[in-house]
Chain A
Amino acid sequence: MPGAEAVLPALAQAALLVLLGPLVSGVIQKLKARLQCRAGASVAQPYRDLAKLLRKGTVQSDTASAFYRAIPPLVLAAVVCAAAMVPVVVLPAAGGFTLGDAILLVGLLALARFLTALGALDAGGAFGGMGASREMTVAPLVEPVLLLVVFSVATAAGTTDLGLIAARRASDPAVWHSPDLLALAAMLVLLLAETGRIPVDNPDTHLELTMIHEGMLLEQSGPGLAAMALASHTKQLVMMAVVGALFFPIGLAPRPEPLLLVPAALAFLGKTAVLALFVGLVESSYAKLRFFRLPQFLGMGFLCAFLALALRVL
């Protein structure tokens, strides 16, 4: 196969994101617990949860359609596929075969969201509908921000391919301009929204008045719930990796060689730790915003991202 040497690193990196996703969630949980003066669960708790869910049986809503069972694996597949678009430790070979760019990544994440919302509506009941409705209200406000951030960085590189953007920025450290600061601010707003964190959503709650993402998963159980949980852990890490690729492509290995991969992996862990710290600190120090205040918060992100793009273009 002609593109195998380019596809294999992408697959390996996607696998890395899937494997490390729960760990990042565990670290954030631990951090939050420590900030609240609790001991907290071990950082490996998300893995244990997944293992437990995988062993369990499934209770399915009696009104759900035949498609319902296919939704969790499809959502997971879409997120993992999106993960394959992000350079995590290795830069892609120049001019080689690429699986996709940032727009495809946004498209695949939108596919995952679309299917999750349909799964919520499929089970019937008001909670699922509420979650789906809220998620699909937040999504149109969030997706353009991600695209605009990508575009504002892409204008300098002339491509929306995350690998090529990262390669360009890594080769020339002096490409930081004022628009990038605005874009980074928008990206951080986005990171909180896309990972379902306070102040946009609260991952710890099952209170119907506040939840968004959890509301859509209420009727999922057993292995299906495990798949959905793994998908959202992975998505969180994918978003962090996107921040890394767009703004801090430091230490990425130009070729998949062991000697280069070790520092690259360390750099990736460092970047992820910083972002996890940011998420944990924000979650511990802010309250969740009222749902109808969210457009203002996300609108701020949109404005920053648009201004970043406008400054780049002008």
Chain B
Amino acid sequence: MIGSQSLLSWTFACYGAGAVACLLLRPARRLSVLAGHLGILAGAVLGAALALRVLLRPSAPVEAELPQLLPFVRMSLRLDPLSAFFLLVICLVGAAAAIYGPAYLASHGGAKGGSVRGTVQTVALALFVASMALLVCAADVFSFLFFWEAMTLASWALVVSETDDGEGTRAGLLYVVMAHAGTALLLVAFLVLAERAQAFDFAALRAAGRCLDDSTRTVLFFLALAGFGGKAGVVPLHVWLPRAHPAAPSHVSALMSGVMLKVAIYGIVRFGFDLLAPAAGPLPPAWGWTVLALGTASAVLGILYALQQHDLKRLLAFSSVENVGIILMGLGLAMRLARTGSALSGLATLALAGALLHAANHAAFKGLLFLGAGSVLSRTHERSMERLGGLARRMPWTAWLFLLGAAAIAALPPLNGFVSEWMTFQALLLGGVRLGGSPGLAAAFAASMLALTGGLAAACFVKAFGVTFLGRPRSAHTEKATESPLSMRLGMGLLAAVCLAVGLFPGGVVRLLDGPVRVLIAGPEPSRALTVRGPLVLSSGSAPIGSSISVTGSAALLLAIFAVGAVVFAWPRAAGRRLAPTWTCGVSPQSRFDYTATAFAKPLRLVFAALYRPRRELVRGEGSTTYFLTGLRYAGEVVDLAETVLYARVKHAVATLSRGVRARSTGRIHGYIGYVLLALLATLLLYGRS
């Protein structure tokens, strides 16, 4: 049995070895990519083993010193249960991506990409996964920010390296600008705290955080929330996300959407519950309400915009905004309820456990869906759903795995998405009742919006799966598509198995949440609060308050009834079954009769027109009359409200300001001397008297 300490070093050694091997073997293209991914896989497996060990066996946190890079700072790692939980999530999707990656890069990038691209992407991937894993283990400011930056830059390299057209570059630019604006805010928050603590390690920061006054504490929290929120894709800081995530190779998209957003969530959790928490008493109520409001807005707007996307990967990226919103709803409620007395602490546990579980669940199903979308992309070279269709007959494995992910993300029982949304619903409802008054009303409103989000997510993923995989193929590439290689299916299968397992055995998974919750809030442990009636039944509290579900039991019942039904229907009959074309009013059916993604989402586009403000352009051909059209051109789009309302105005203001500055920059030296004099005078008038 190796010690946890050496397991930790081996984990990161594997990532490093993968990257180095990939660089050394560069001339042999296939081999180099394969070696790199093997290193990532080994690192992910070891990391997952380590994380499980920390989570399941409560013992002292694992600590390690990193080699000293700079003379004045010591970098150290510390793996407490909270870090271990996020490390597990990273390693899970990392392993799936590593299994999936080589075949994807070979089939997709291989056509036009030279050997350099594959190598660069593999090395960047290894760095990306390793820096995320190191980030959640970081125990001081310097290493946290160092790995935060490494994560951003590695993922940026992956975003811009995938395509040669300008789109990836533009997406990368927006991403890197937004990410660094967020980093700047984080830097301020960290440095203020480090200045108070006179040290860089988190233990000292935590101690300093205890002695802060309330207004400083709140300002620092909001700085951190804005910094991490930008990375997590919280509305209205999400605009980079639907551009950057789809631009990367699909297994990297899976990591960015499934895992990198969770790293930002980890930051919010670490700051809100741990570093900035007061010594005693509840967290400031404004924190919880802000996070809850941001979460609600992100959830509803994210899924509404996802519904109107026709690019499969962009749709998935917008749906990540929604899921981050759901996680933040749980977190916000937990922040409000935590440490407010024994009556509410059980609910805080429920809310926090729901949020953390949803973070893990989202990593699993969003990873699965992005890998599925990548599988479609690599076989058809089409990202637009309007040109896909009929793939369920051509790529059955990809189709059914994608369907599983779609059902999970739509929060349908008996899969994992339902379990975590159920926990969030229960926490919002019971929390609303216990809080009462206007706080209770806010929680009730959040619950109603979560219900709306669930319904819209189901509509969105009926569209995503139905238009992509069912019906008839809409383009030649799609018609000739074949199933993806085994390794890609295995990568998807791993995540699909997690979706099923968490859904069917929630009690076992809840045990993993004990450690993280214990680190964050003092309250009953999730396994005590949630599995009151046995490991297969999930309860929101013991009787008389609280309700329980047995997803396992209902899945068994579902399967039993299905089996009976299937036998009855498959019973041989005199008139057997035959195949016939779909009835299309007597015309021979073609793919153009099938509902498109635009058509499918049209009713909802009209219902929510106030939010979408859809633009529609219909041009008739030359010489058309009312009844005879010679040609018809249709263009329609839905633009993101945040972009038109917020960013366009900011851009306009900045442009106006810089034009004004330019007009007053004449280039003559005495003009500038005049400005300096004026500035000096103003400064003296304002501050010179004391």
Contacts and interface: CB of A to CB of B under 8 A. Distances in A.
11 contacts: A56-B573, A60-B578, A60-B579, A63-B582, A77-B558, A99-B554, A114-B461, A140-B458, A151-B447, A295-B607, A309-B447
B451 interface: yes
Contact of A129 (B392, B569, B599): B599
Nearest to A3: B553
A86 interface: no
B635 interface: no
A292 B606 contact: yes
Contacts of B462: 114, 117-118, 121, 132, 136
Interface in A132-157: 132-134, 136-137, 139-144, 147-148, 151, 154-155
A140 B422 CA distance: 17
B100 to A, nearest CB: 23
Contacts of A95: 543
A261 interface: no
Contacts of A306: 444-445, 448
Interface string A270-292: 00000000000000000000011
A177 interface: no
B451 A148 contact: yes
Interface in B441-484: 441, 443-445, 447-448, 451-452, 454-456, 458-459, 461-463, 465-467, 469-472
Nearest to B467: A121
A142 B566 CA distance: 30
| Interface majority SS (helix, strand, loop, mixed), chain A | helix
Nearest to A98: B548
Interface stretch (A24-32, A101-109, A189-197): A101-109
A2 B550 CA distance: 13
A223 B607 CA distance: 36
A123 B582 contact: yes
A73 B593 CA distance: 27
Contacts of B463: 136
B581 interface: yes
Nearest to A310: B441
Contact of B456 (A114, A140, A227): A140
Interface in B587-609: 589, 591, 593-595, 599-604, 606-607
Contact of B593 (A126, A151, A158): A126
A81 B543 CA distance: 24
Nearest to A107: B413
Question: Lowest 8 A-B CB distances belong to which pairs?
Answer: A129-B595, A57-B575, A140-B455, A73-B565, A121-B466, A144-B451, A65-B392, A136-B459
Contact of A62 (B452, B545, B553, B579): B579
A223 B458 contact: no
Interface stretch (B331-339, B429-437, B642-650): B429-437
B636 to A, nearest CB: 16
A314 interface: yes
Given A159-B547, A161-B547, A81 B390 contact: no
B440 A124 contact: no
Contact of A132 (B400, B466, B574): B466
B202 interface: no
Interface string A79-97: 0110010000000001101
A143 B403 CA distance: 21
B27 interface: no
A61 B455 contact: no
Contacts of B543: 94-95, 164
A108 B441 contact: no
Interface string A31-51: 000000000000000000000
A132 B550 contact: no
Given A65-B469, A118-B466, A158-B430, 16 more contacts: A56-B573, A63-B390, A63-B581, A65-B393, A77-B557, A80-B561, A84-B557, A100-B553, A103-B549, A114-B410, A125-B584, A128-B595, A141-B607, A159-B544, A160-B426, A305-B448
Interface residues of B, number: 95
Nearest to B426: A160
B151 interface: no
B394 to A, nearest CB: 10
Contacts of B190: none
B393 A219 contact: no
Nearest to A133: B600
B315 to A, nearest CB: 15
Nearest to B603: A137
B399 interface: yes
Interface in B381-414: 390, 392-393, 396, 399-400, 403, 407, 410-413
B583 interface: yes
B7 to A, nearest CB: 39
Contact of A158 (B438, B537, B546): B546
A67 B593 contact: no
A104 B413 contact: yes
Given A110-B454, A114-B458, A124 B444 contact: no
A99 B550 contact: yes
Given A73-B566, A121-B471, A132-B462, A97 B550 contact: yes
A130 interface: yes
A73 B564 CA distance: 8
B418 interface: yes
A313 B549 contact: no
B413 A111 contact: yes
A70 interface: yes
Contact of A122 (B392, B557, B583, B593): B392
Given A97-B533, A117-B462, A141 B578 contact: no
B436 A101 contact: no
B568 interface: yes
Contact of B548 (A108, A141, A161): A161
B580 interface: yes
Contacts of A125: 582-584, 589, 593-594
Contact of B558 (A81, A114, A159): A81
A124 B593 contact: yes
B577 A57 contact: yes
A118 B399 CA distance: 12
B672 interface: no
A276 B601 CA distance: 34
B562 interface: yes
Contacts of B631: none
B553 A143 contact: no
B688 interface: no
Interface string A1-37: 0110001000100000000000000000000000000
A59 interface: yes
B579 to A, nearest CB: 4
A292 B608 CA distance: 11
B603 A7 contact: no
Given A137-B603, A314-B441, A126 B399 contact: no
A209 to B, nearest CB: 13
A151 B429 contact: yes
